[in-house]
Amino acid sequence: MPVTMSPYDAKNSESNIRLTCIIINPEAMCRQVRGERKVLYITGPQRSCSIEVLETLASCNAER
């Protein structure tokens, strides 16, 4: 999936082994609709959305 890492300024920042921020490239975003309690999305090859990433992390018991 095409993503970009958040910028890192080595001169003014401390190293961090955690993944703090990734940005999904706009052309890789899948279609999604958000309701009050649910999010529906249509995934495809090389496409994803933030909620799909969060659901995948949750299925692995990863912390947010």
AA letter at 58: A
Give the model's pLDDT for residue 50. 82
Extract the tokens encoding 37: 């309690």
- By CB atoms closer than 10 A (0-12, 13-18, 19+), residue 8 is exposed
Give the model's pLDDT for residue 10. 75
pTM for the model: 0.59
Give the model's pLDDT for residue 7. 73
Give the model's pLDDT for residue 13. 75
pLDDT digits (tens, 9 = 90+) for 2-49: 777 777 777 887 766 555 677 888 888 888 898 898 889 888 888 888
In the Cβ-directed half-sphere of 23, how many Cα atoms lie within 13 Å?
Answer: 7
